[in-house]
Structure 1
Amino acid sequence: MPEPLRSVHTSNIPDILHQLGISILVTTYQAGRLVMLRAQDTALNTHFRSFDKPMGLAIDGNRLAVGTANQIWEFHNLPAVCEKVDAKIRASDPASPVHHDACLLPRTTHWTGDIQIHEMDWVNGAAGTELWAVNTRFSCLCRRSDVHSFEPVWRPSFIPHFVPGDCCHLNGLATRDGQARYVTALGETHEVEGWRKNKRNGGILIDIESDQVMAHGLSMPHSPRWHQGHLWVLQSGIGELGIIDPANGSYQSVAKLPGFTRGLSFVGPLALIGLSQVRESAIFGGVPIAEAKLDQRVCGVWVVNIETGETVGFVRFEDAVHEIFAVEIWPTRYPELINDDQDLLAGSFELADEALADVPTEMRRQ
């Protein structure tokens, strides 16, 4: 029997989600789940979908990309399918108050092979937005290709070749003005798995535009983000959220948190931060946060006011979920994602507007 997937949360979390009109998507590669945190009246609904080691998430309009062990899945939101989903629920529970406002259905799957995919984002390109990913195994950034496993687009200046050896453990990607701009790595080395020699404070942040390391001495940095005119980063090894000064690379701590910080999204003055309990010792041994007692390290999503550094609320996972990778905001309150309902997938179609115009009106929402 698999372990149960349970969570507890502060009483204000459903109201925060409801007031902002959002839900939260979380990946846990350790438990093999994409978690959807949704407000349902005054309660929090925690919804799970299974994937093979889900990692990075990228949202662009009605599109969601999910990076997994060997593939990138792309889902599209088809709101009309919500009626079918709600009808199936009410067929077994006529009193159900559930009303979905988004339904994500798979549109493409791209086989990358085991590139140890980490963060992803949509980047403006000559022909429209392109899906870029951190290819950790080959120590580079790559974009999705229609022909190849991946298309390399950038690598750090200290990486001389495309070698499948996870040399620097490139992991985080931040976009700025629609362009890939900053990345985090756990070491400045071209040796195979060389980053492991100084996990404690060998982390770096690189400016892609100048191809220069702009910050050294970070403790397992992850999730760089550009928000409200500041460059944010998680110092995962010490459990912190902070700001990097682009002018001199100095670091300023904003909030200290009770776990390995990884996964970061913003909505106004609020930061949504993933925390991991980091039980596995081979990777995390020797890192400051792993030296705290196990019961002092938690797994979940913390909501922090970035103006004060104070924790506003949290969702804490228990039992089966110990590690989180990505935390992203989906812009509706109660989405659904379908990846295993064959009947629903077989009978739902996405067409171009000009083709849809030739479908009889009475059939368009059936």
Structure 2
Amino acid sequence: MTNKEVKLNYVMTSCARFPLLLQAMKSSLLVSAHNLDCLFVISSDGEEIKAEHVRLPQIQGIALSDDQQRLSLAAYHQVWDYQRITAQPELPTSVESTQGRDAVFYPCGSMTTGYLNTHDLAWGREKLYMVNTRFNCIASPVYGKSFEVVWKPPFISALVAEDRCHLNGLALKHGEPAYVSYFSATDHRFGWRDGSSFDGAIMRISDEQAVIQGVCLPHSPRIHRNYLYFCESGTGRLWRCPEAQLPASKSDLELVAELNGFTRGLRMVGDMAFVGLSKVRQAKDGSSRHIDMPLLENQQDLRSGICVIDLRDGSEIACLTFSGDLNQIYDVEIVFGCNNPRILDLNSEELSDLFHL
């Protein structure tokens, strides 16, 4: 399926089960593609998938509150806040694009943080948490400030904008930060670029212990049913380990699935995992690093898209494949209770006639 509305070279193709799965779940997907500056909204009528997009510069992290009423997006030097609204027929609005939609999100504000290279976002019980990769810490956006520091790894000696360890992933537990992923426990400017791709680790925040070490470019730690899941992006693998057995050596981990893509972006629901897949890209500065990454051995066979994995046996339930320019996925989120959502663009003229009282 080619989305002709987006003036970009990309194609989406799905297996027969993917649109059926979304319809049966009465859900839609949000997928961030930072290289295209796009948030894709992927829905289904049961027979075909439909893709719309919202343009946001260098978008990475996506966060939905537990009640699915607030949507936050990390985009370059800002964090954007959207509110979910329902139809209000008494209002004098004639926004045609919201007619027939079962969920509408409109932009209601943003906080300017400066360029933090914000990766994961997550809504906790009382605040929004963000992985402030440039300053090597977990932070929260605060009105009138660039950010408020919540926690930083014990090996980071100073709060400086040097991306020393490439802190990227965050898992919440009971609404509080619980685990983080990073590429290397280094304490100098861009130190993570210097060593092996297998210097990555998952750290438990409560006791600041690296509970899993020696993993290749980890992303997307998540807690689900008392297991810690994470993507070992450089190998295309999805791993898990019972929380009660942490810390654990890599030989103690359970391999859930091995996929032919750079695994990044993870959303679990029930017995399923929605996993983002990307191609391996060259470093933006043109340098060579992490040349020991296993995925480099079969770059031509790698794919970009979303793979749905059965957590019970690791089999593939359904897949959505991207081609063309759509080859860098960062995050994946699910909007429940809707097969036809709309996220209004920041510059949309429709906002002038959309009222929420």
The equivalent position to 1:88 in structure 2, one of 88, 96, 99, is 96
Secondary structure of 1:187's aligned partner: coil
Distance (whole Å) between structure 2 residues aligned to residue 28 and residue 85 of structure 1: 32
Kindly provide the amino acid, as one letter, of the partner of residue 296 in structure 1: D
Kindly provide the amino acid, as one letter, of the partner of residue 252 in structure 1: E
- Inter-CA distance 273–66: structure 2 relative to 1 (3 Å threshold): same
Structure 1 gaps of 5+ residues are 91-97, 352-366
1:121 alignment counterpart: 122
Residues 74-95 of structure 1 deviation map (CA, whole Å, 9 limit, x = unaligned): 00011217999996359xxxxx
Q: Following superposition of structure 1 onto structure 2, how do residues 219-230 of structure 1 map, counting pairs within 5 Å?
A: 219-230=216-227
2:147 alignment counterpart: 150
2:339 alignment counterpart: 333
Secondary structure of 2:268's aligned partner: strand
Secondary structure of 1:234's aligned partner: strand
Kindly provide the amino acid, as one letter, of the partner of residue 254 in structure 1: V
Residue 68 (structure 2) pairs with residue 71 (structure 1): no
Kindly provide the amino acid, as one letter, of the partner of residue 232 in structure 1: Y
- Inter-CA distance 262–287: structure 2 relative to 1 (3 Å threshold): farther
1:244 alignment counterpart: 241
Residue 192 (structure 2) pairs with residue 186 (structure 1): no
Residue 111 (structure 2) pairs with residue 110 (structure 1): yes
Distance (whole Å) between structure 2 residues aligned to residue 70 and residue 297 of structure 1: 31
Secondary structure of 2:345's aligned partner: coil
Kindly provide the amino acid, as one letter, of the partner of residue 49 in structure 2: L
Kindly report the root-mean-square deviation, in angstroms, between the aligned alpha carbons of the 2 structures. Answer: 2.2
1:160 alignment counterpart: 157
- Inter-CA distance 32–283: structure 2 relative to 1 (3 Å threshold): farther
Measured after TM superposition, the shift of residue 115 of structure 1 is 0.5
**Aligned residue pairs, count:** 340
Conserved in 2, the CA contact under 8 Å of 1:81 and 1:103? no
Q: Following superposition of structure 1 onto structure 2, how do residues 1-366 of structure 1 map, counting pairs within 5 Å?
A: 2-60=7-65, 61=67, 62-80=69-87, 88=96, 99-124=100-125, 129-246=126-243, 247-250=246-249, 251-281=253-283, 282=287, 285-331=290-336, 332-340=338-346, 342-351=348-357
- Inter-CA distance 341–113: structure 2 relative to 1 (3 Å threshold): closer
- Inter-CA distance 163–341: structure 2 relative to 1 (3 Å threshold): closer
- Inter-CA distance 341–248: structure 2 relative to 1 (3 Å threshold): closer
Residues 234-292 of structure 1 deviation map (CA, whole Å, 9 limit, x = unaligned): 00010000113443323221100010000000111010000000132547641434423
Conserved in 2, the CA contact under 8 Å of 1:135 and 1:141? yes
TM-score (norm 2): 0.90
Structure 2 gaps of 5+ residues are 1-5
State the percentage of identical aligned residues: 28
Measured after TM superposition, the shift of residue 2 of structure 1 is 5.0
Residues 90-139 of structure 1 deviation map (CA, whole Å, 9 limit, x = unaligned): 9xxxxxxx831001000111101000000011122xxxx20110000000
Which structure has the greater CA radius of gyration?
1
Distance (whole Å) between structure 1 residues aligned to residue 56 and residue 103 of structure 2: 20
Secondary structure of 2:24's aligned partner: helix
Conserved in 1, the CA contact under 8 Å of 2:179 and 2:221? yes
Conserved in 1, the CA contact under 8 Å of 2:276 and 2:307? yes
Distance (whole Å) between structure 1 residues aligned to residue 164 and residue 10 of structure 2: 34
